[in-house]
Structure 1
């Protein structure tokens, strides 16, 4: 009887030992329990969460939305007090009007200078004709004076008329040159006035943009986070007021580098969601991260210092959620999931071919 009990106890101990070894082999996925399914619980739902902030400072005049509300692209979220920016726009518009009037006045001055040039050219032509007449008279009087046919008084008058005609021509030519220089100065000044008008137009556009930015709108469809804006609150540029979470989400699964050997883009994925009582959903591998997660951390580990313990790094894998699943509408960024990828299954590309 005692020998029988000892034999039974030995068999039980051996069975427990074998079961323990089998359990360890299964936990570590060692032969004969190797599997083509790679699993990780280091995985989360992700989405493009957009933080909403004002581009300028002011007091909140209206909060048009509530916490967790669904919004459409372009829908008004918050309005800031716009009185200051309205007056800045009017000021910029008044400056633009002044610059345009100055430019128009420059155009009028250009025309006046061109008319003065025309008048100056006519005066030069008249002075040249008078000089030619005086020169002809002197040419006739001078030989007569030498022969004593005319008096000295008449010769002096003819000589004086010739000198006056020369002086008149010189004056007319000088006046014409002054008019031309005035026109050149007007044309040069016009370029600066045109630049001033363009600068004023840009100032008006900037004032219009600032006025438009007092109304903060949703950049895309989605649902809001908790709304942090309060009526009468003073906010500055960059103040976080709320966030918009779009409907499109995906899964980021952080697999160990030792699990990636057989993974390929397009392989089917099954994942369970903790928040949905571990409901199972489906997707497929969409992309692999270009580097391990440690490479994107703020404080990168320096393995060249101190003692070294090798730790398997993790590489983020992006999983696209297959359409047509009702529970997918309840997924929200930040939810924890458990992801399983069958590395032996054909990819979506293989199935299409």
Structure 2
């Protein structure tokens, strides 16, 4: 009887040991319990969180939204006191008007110089005619003086008239050259004035942009995080006022490198969400990270020093959430999920390409 009991106790212990080993093998998915389904709980919902900051300094005059509110693209979020920027715009417009007036005055000066050139050219023609008459008069009187027919006084007067005509022609020609140089100076100065007008126009546009930037609007549809802006608060360029979380979300699952064999883009994925009482949703693999997560960490481990212990690295896998799931609207960035991928299943890349469910961010 004692021998039988001992045999029975030994058998029970052996059975319990085998069951324990089987449970360990099953838990770690080791042979003979290997499976093509790879699972990880190191997975989270991700989304693009856009931090909203002003581009200029000023006092907050209005906060038009509240925490966690849903907003549309272009909707007013925060307004900064715009009185100073409005006056800067008026000042820039006044400077532009003054530069345009100076340019218009330059145009009038150009026309005046062009008319002066024509007047000087007319004076040259008149001086040439007077010189021709003086030369002809001298040619008549000079022989007569030599024969004593006319007096020396008349000859002197004719010679003086000839010299005056020549001087008048030189003066008229010089006046033409001066008028041309004045016109050239006006044209050169006009280029400077045109540049000044362009600079004033740019200053007006910059002032308009600054005035528009006093109204901080939603860059896209989404929901707000906590609103940190307060009326009367002085903010500077780059101050974080609030954050907008767009509607576009996805899942990032950090699989061990030993789980990646057989995974391909397009394979179907199922995942459960902790916040939704482990409700199951579907998706598909969109793309793989180009490096393990450790390569993107701020403080990288140096395996070349000290004792080395091999640790399986994790590679982030981006998973797109299939459309048409009501529960997907309840997902929010940061939620924990458990992801399962059947590496034995064929990828549905053709279906994805035809439906357009894979998007680049």
Q: Distance in 1 between matches of 2:150 and 2:306?
A: 125
Q: Which residue of 2 is the match for residue 110 of structure 1?
A: 110
Q: Which residue of 1 is the match for residue 230 of structure 2?
A: 230
Q: Which residue of 1 is the match for residue 357 of structure 2?
A: none
Q: Distance in 2 between matches of 1:37 and 1:184?
A: 85
Q: Which residue of 1 is the match for residue 358 of structure 2?
A: none
Q: Which residue of 2 is the match for residue 53 of structure 1?
A: 53
Q: SS of the residue aligned with 2:324? A: coil
After superposition, residues 151-162 of structure 1 pair within 5 angstroms as 151-162=151-162
**TM-score normalised to structure 2 length:** 0.95
After superposition, residues 10-159 of structure 1 pair within 5 angstroms as 10-159=10-159
Q: SS of the residue aligned with 1:270? A: strand
Q: Distance in 2 between matches of 1:223 and 1:38?
A: 34
Kindly tell me: are residues 133 and 305 of structure 1, through their superposed partners in 2, closer, same or farther at Cα, counting changes over 3 Å? farther
Q: Distance in 1 between matches of 2:103 and 2:340?
A: 72
Q: Which residue of 2 is the match for residue 295 of structure 1?
A: 295
After superposition, residues 125-274 of structure 1 pair within 5 angstroms as 125-274=125-274
For residue 351 of structure 1, report the CA deviation from its aligned partner: 6.5
Runs of 4+ more than 4 Å apart: 350-353
After superposition, residues 325-344 of structure 1 pair within 5 angstroms as 325-344=325-344
Q: Which residue of 2 is the match for residue 6 of structure 1?
A: 6
Q: Which residue of 1 is the match for residue 312 of structure 2?
A: 312
Once superposed, what is the RMSD of the aligned Cα atoms?
Answer: 1.3
Kindly tell me: are residues 351 and 177 of structure 1, through their superposed partners in 2, closer, same or farther at Cα, counting changes over 3 Å? closer
For residue 49 of structure 1, report the CA deviation from its aligned partner: 1.0
Per-residue displacement from partner, 1:44-86 (whole Å, max 9, x unpaired)? 0001111111111111111111111111111111111111101
Per-residue displacement from partner, 1:129-188 (whole Å, max 9, x unpaired)? 111111111122222222222211111111100100111011111111111011000000
Per-residue displacement from partner, 1:274-322 (whole Å, max 9, x unpaired)? 1111111100001111121122222233333333222221111110001
For residue 231 of structure 1, report the CA deviation from its aligned partner: 1.1
Equivalent residues, number: 353
Q: SS of the residue aligned with 1:216? A: strand
